Amino acid sequence: MTRKAQVLASVLALTVSMTALAACSSNNKNNGASPGGSQSPSGSASADAGSSGGKDTITALLPPVSSGFQDRFEQISKDFNAKYPNLTLKIEPASWEDMTQKLDTQVNAGSPPDIAFIGSDGISKYLQQGMLMDITDAVDSNTYDDFDQAPIAYMKKGEGLYGFPAYMEVHALGGNRQFLEDAGIDWKKVQKEGWTFDEFREAIHKGVVKDGDVTKRYGFVFANSGVTSRDYLNILIKNAGMPSAFTTDLKYAYTSKNFLEVLKDVRLLIDDGSMPKELGSIDAGKRWNMFLTGQTMITGKGLATFENSANKNNEKIDANDGSAVKGSIKVDYIVLPVPTFLGQPPMSSTVVDGYVTFRGKKEPTPEHKANIVKAAYFLASGQVAATTNNELFAAHITQSGRKAAESMTVNRNPDNVAAVETLLSHASPARPDIPVELGAKSIKLEDEVIIPKMQALLANEIKPEDMYEAVKAAAIKTFGEDGVVKD
Amino acid sequence: MALYRKHNGRRSARTVRNAAIVLVLLLFAAATLFPIYFMIISSFGDPVEAAAMSYSLWPDKVSFASYKFFMDFSPHSLRWIGNSAIVAASVMITNVVFASLAGYAFSRVRFKGRSVLFSMLLVAMMVPYQVTQVPLYILIVNTFQIQNTYGALILPGVVTVYNIFLAKQFMSTIPGEILECAKVEGCNQLQIYFRIVLPLSKTVLAVMAILTFMDSWNTFFWPFLVTNTMDMQTIQVGLKNFRFANTTYFSPMMAGATISALPMFVLFFSLQKYFLEGVTVGAVKG
Amino acid sequence: MAITQTVSSGKKRRIRGDGAWGYAFIAVALLGYALFTAYPVISAFFISFQEYKPLGSEYVGFDNYSATFRDPLFWKSIRNTIVYTILTVPVALALSFAIAILILPLKKRLQTTFKAIYYLPVVASGVAMSVVWLWIFDPLPAGIFNRLISIVGAPNQNWLGASGTAMFSLVIMAWLSSHGASIIIYLAALLGVDESYYEAADLDGATFLQKLWHIVIPFLKPTTLFLLVTGVIGSFQVFQNAYLMTGGGPDNATTMVGLLIFNNAFKYFEYGKAAAQSLVLALLIAGISMFQFKFLGKDVEY
């Protein structure tokens, strides 16, 4: 009995070690042949079988782009299936912050979904992994021409097209109309003509309200906690002659003297007392709360959809049922441009997000590719796009979307609509020419040097010059003496 | 509890001592409980966006609208709780059974390679999951192809090294003489395990059960990775769906968090007698 | 590394033939371990020598390791992690021990209540907790800690936003939350102390402190060792607090190794480098654990 058990035990132990070995070799050798070639096992299988018109499943990983977006998933899938009876669109919902992690894990494992909704700035990251699908040859000219040229350029890298854009938004600022007028600021003029840093500095200083030593209201509050400090610096330096991290001849731009000037100005606004000295740890929720409760005159970053949030809160204050933000006041949300620095032209920080197309380990068949394009286009145009963009107060960027939106009404301040149009007219252009490796290096430099130093600058622990020197040193180390701007 | 003097006949001294202890414990409890308190009072707020967070110490009004909102938010709200219960209960049972067996073997049974094997187990625990999660994902999704099943949710947690280690440490305090006696009386290891070790380990197994259940119940990322339809999600994954583009439905999220904490209270109070009545050798022998 | 077993060697002969039982008892655990723990770890080991790409990795030898050792941020994060561990783990252990001891003399009903109270924070979801803690550390005068310190006249602090206080804030957070599990485990161990030991000590006229020192602490050694080793492992891998509360800032003052590894694996897709850093980290923890076992593992039996 004991002997038997002993044999059994050693067999078990052997099995265990074999499994460990087998499992590990399968990982290393079978890379190409692993069954999960394309994310949807069913999808890829049927695609392989598929002659055109064959059954196919397309998977999409989608965040809550707008408030009602995820509620409509079932309807979207149904409508898609009605239009293409042989195709099934399988949508996985995920929240914003989690979906990147899920997508990244899937990409690392070599089995991403066919379509994922991400920011266009993520394209180079996934392209470098070789996991994006160039759909240039699968898109006909009718489909392509439905999109406005500026946004779709953001979905390109080099010669390739890697999906369709959903919207193009500008990162602007938002002001409280009453407070702006109290401070004597002609916001209509600013909306039309913009403002320089000096004008801006003076304006927000006038917005400060103090009670003795305690600041009751700041002139300007920008969310800067954690990684959002990236946004703050980015929208500023675009207006200081640095629309992108690289110049047109692909030299790293943030070693320019203008960069240092912007950093000095960042400190100035805090030292003036116009912005809180704790700026570095104010997050997006906090600053919106401060805006609605009248603790700041201007806030950032501002998206068009904030007007909607402010309007909703106003209605709740009117209804007086205790559901409005505690201590909030009625606010007319005014879209404001970011000030310009050193006489440079205004350049709106632009965000293009969209439906990006992925591939698995196996080369996708032309049929599957065509089907993915159909699904991505279905999501990015017409009725689906029109509804979503209207919920976001975002401009429509497809002809079909505009047409579908004609019958829908949106309650927006016409001045704001015009202001956003103006901002969009000097949107920072797409830069498909920046090579993927260069882009990746600059992102890493930003994360490991610029953002940490920016946090220290905001906390008044280092001087603007220190930060500038740190960035410059890191840039020269990364891109070489000849790879950076010298002026 | 004979660690403390019994103060026989001096009741007042005992009362004073215990009152002082309770005071210290209460102070620390206040600090510990504050976040929970905040979670619960916030859950009674209205289902509005995050900026509406009131940051006040007292609830302005008590409304169950957020609970209703949570239930209505998705037709799967209840199913999420059910899924979590299935997964957590399975993981709890397999861990209590197999980790205690292994813990006993590692602490009390002599066999070749015991310490090497145990060291291997521990070392694997030291590699951060951020790195092991991709190979694990490849194994479950690409190789086994069991994504979106209970198997994918349960299997990776079947036996954790943490629990084996926990069982081993507790079982190493069982006096060796009792085990020796049993051997002399002709018990084999299985009998020793069931007749002596298991009864003596009730306390630690109860602790293991509750900690494992809770851990599994609170896990977010793995279930999030391997499920891709709403009906297979667990409560933690479902809760995260409350977080929208630029806003969070704050009160319903807190309501969901409160609801999701409830099963843990139930489990705690149903297992409490095992925590409270420690089993000592004396008790068993007698 | 195994805990020294003082089931003395003289008895070894009699336990012969138990080997098979040993293997049978650990079979399931080992199988689960091999598949779901060892296999991913071995994969990570191979990946650490590659420039990992999902479509075909390239063997790069020790490049990932040498890059890791040359990276000043890696060393800074190791330093942060060690500081964090030293400040949190022993304190949390001492607190849990003290509370477990204090709960003991109370009436059963009170005991249950307190156990439940200390256990509670563990059940609440991490997201909910982080919201509360962000409010506690709110940098403006309305924040809870700022209100508290203003009572004693201290100036407003930018808790999470300044290099000087950010790490300390995370440490406070660790002190005040997350010992539910340790307290319960300590209590379970305390309840296992046989009454007869105390009775014997009482006969010798031992004081409370003497009993604590000669009976309780030695008896709890295996438990302490367990909590210490798992505590250090957990602390070295800590990631969520820094990720949710500070994002590693300001100026990388709270960048822990766990966060750095996460960033490398996902943000930058340098998966091979992340694997190399993980294994270096694991080796470091293994070294520390070995030391703990040597130091605390002796004389477990009595």
- The ipTM value here is 0.85
Choose the closest CB to A276 out of C53, C55, C140: C140
Of B52, B246, B248, the CB nearest to A326: B52
* Per-residue confidence (pLDDT) for residue B210, from 0 to 100: 86
B106 touches chain C (CB under 8 A): yes
The pLDDT assigned to B56 comes to 67
Number of CB atoms found within 10 A of residue A383's CB: 18
User: Does the distance separating the beta carbons of A214 and C265 come in below 8 Å?
Assistant: no
The predicted pLDDT at position C5 comes to: 41
Cα A227 to Cα A238: distance, rounded to the nearest angstrom: 18
Per-residue pLDDT for C302 more than 50? no
C-beta atoms of C46 and A24 within 8 A? yes
Lowest mean pLDDT among A148-157, B271-280, C94-103: B271-280
B241 to chain A: closest CA residue: A95
Please tell me the distance in Å from B114's CA to the nearest CA on chain C.
8
Cα–Cα distance for residue pair B167/B121, rounded to 1 Å: 14
Domain C68-296 CATH class label: mainly alpha
Task: Report CB contact under 8 Å: C230, B162.
Answer: yes
Quick check: C244 contacting B, CB < 8 Å? no
Whether B154 and chain A come into contact, CB under 8 Å, resolves to no
**Interface contact A108, partner B, CB < 8 A:** yes
- Which chains have 3 or more CB–CB distances shorter than 8 Å to chain A? B, C
> Are the beta carbons of A289 and B241 separated by less than 8 Å?
no
Give me the total of CB pairs closer than 8 Å, taking one residue from chain B and one from chain C: 328
- Given pLDDT bands bounded at 50, 70 and 90, which one contains residue B203? confident
Chains that touch C (3 or more CB pairs under 8 A): A, B
Flag if C268 and A458 touch (Cβ within 8 Å). no
Quick: pLDDT tens for A306-356: 898 899 889 988 988 767 777 889 999 999 999 999 999 999 999 899 999
Share of chain A above pLDDT 90, in %: 60
Query: What SS3 string covers chain C?
Result: CCCCCCCCHHHHHHHCCCHHHHHHHHHHHHHHHHHHHHHHHHHHHHHCCEECCCCCCEECCCHHHHHHHHCHHHHHHHHHHHHHHHHHHHHHHHHHHHHHHHHCCCCHHHHHHHHHHHHHHHHCCHHHHHHHHHHHCCCCCCCHHHHHHHHCCCCCCCCCCCHHHHHHHHHHHHHHCCCHHHHHHHHHHHCCCCHHHHHHHHHCCCCHHHHHHHHHHHHCHHHHHHHHHHHHHHHHCCCHHHHHHCCCCCCCCCCCHHHHHHHHHHHCCCHHHHHHHHHHHHHHHHHHHHHHHHHHCCCCCC
Provide the whole-model pTM.
0.85
Range(s) of chain A covered by CATH 3.40.190.10: 3-169+350-421, 171-346
| Measured CA distances, B215 to B14, B91, B212, B264 (Å) | 38, 10, 5, 10
- Check CB contact of B15 with chain C, cutoff 8 Å: no
Residue in B158, B183, B272 closest to C14 by CB: B183
How distant is the Cα of C157 from the closest Cα of chain B, in angstroms?
Answer: 19
Cα–Cα distance, C253 to C261 (Å, whole number)? 16
Cα separations in angstroms, A109 against A131, A236, A472, C53, C258: 11, 38, 36, 9, 20
Of the two residues B17 and A143, the one the predictor is more confident about is: A143
Chain C residues close to B127, C-beta within 8 Å: 41, 44, 278-279, 281-282
Most confident of C7-16, C196-205, C270-279: C270-279
Residue C191 touches partner A, C-beta closer than 8 Å: no
Give the pLDDT of residue B280: 64
The pairing of beta strand A163-176 with beta strand A296-302 = antiparallel
**H-type helices in A320-397, by residue range?**
366-380, 382-392
pLDDT tens readout for residues C101-143: 888 878 778 877 887 787 777 766 666 677 778 878 888 887 8
Q: Which residues of B touch A322 (CB under 8 A)?
A: 46, 60-61
Mean pLDDT, residues B258-274: 78
CATH class of A171-346: alpha beta
Domain boundaries, chain C: 2-47, 68-296
For residues A336 and A172, the answer to whether their CB atoms sit within 8 Å is yes
Task: Quote the tokens at residue A142.
Answer: 């009718």
Residue A5 has which token pair?
């058990």
Q: What confidence score (pLDDT) does residue C8 get?
A: 41
- Give pLDDT tens digits for B151-172: 999 999 999 999 999 999 999 8
Of B18, B260, B268, the CB nearest to C125: B260
**Taking the CB of residue A146, how many other CB atoms lie within 10 A of it?**
20
- The pLDDT of B70-91, averaged and rounded, is 85
Between the alpha carbon of residue A293 and those of residues A285, A286, A327, B11, the distances in Å are 12, 10, 6, 57
CA distance A287 to A290: 5
Interface test mutation site (partner C, options B53, B121, B130, max chain C beta carbons within 10 A)? B130
Residue the block writes with tokens 């205790």: A322
Task: Provide, as residue numbers in chain B, all residues whose Cβ is less than 8 Å from the Cβ of A62.
Answer: none
Report d(CA C222, CA C229) in Å as an integer: 11
Which positions ≥6 away from C155 have C-beta within 8 Å?
A: none
B119 touches C at CB < 8 Å: yes
Please tell me if residue B273 touches chain C, with a CB cutoff of 8 Å.
no
Note the pLDDT tens digit of each residue in B210-233: 889 988 988 888 898 898 888 888
Write the CA distances from A117 to A100, A160, A400, B95, B122, integer angstroms.
10, 18, 20, 39, 40
Among residues C22, A11, C222, which one has the least CA distance to residue B117? C22
* C-alpha to C-alpha distance for C138 and A287, rounded to whole angstroms: 12
Alpha-carbon distance of C235 to C174, in angstroms, equals 10
User: Does the structure show a pLDDT above 70 at A50?
Assistant: no
Compute the Cα dihedral for A99, A104, A110, A116 and give only its sign.
positive
CB contact under 8 A, C20 and A5: yes
Fold of the CATH domain A3-169+350-421: D-Maltodextrin-Binding Protein; domain 2 (3.40.190)
User: A245-283 pLDDT, tens per residue?
Assistant: 999 999 999 999 999 999 999 999 999 999 999 888 888
**CB-CB neighbors (< 8 A) of B166 in chain C:** 185, 226
Which residues of chain C have a CB within 8 Å of the CB of B180?
11, 14
Look at residue A45 and tell me whether its pLDDT is greater than 70: no
Closest to C14 measured CA to CA, from A307, B179, A200: B179
Contact C158 A277 (CB under 8 A): yes
- Share of chain A residues as helix, strand and coil, in percent rounded to the nearest 5: 50, 15, 30
C181 to chain B, any CB pair closer than 8 A? The answer is yes
Question: Looking at beta carbons, which residues of chain C come within 8 Å of B249?
Answer: none
Residues within 8 A of A (CB atoms), C 80-99 only: none
CB pairs under 8 A between A and C: 156
Single out the residue of A146, A187, A415, A405 nearest to residue A304, CA to CA: A415
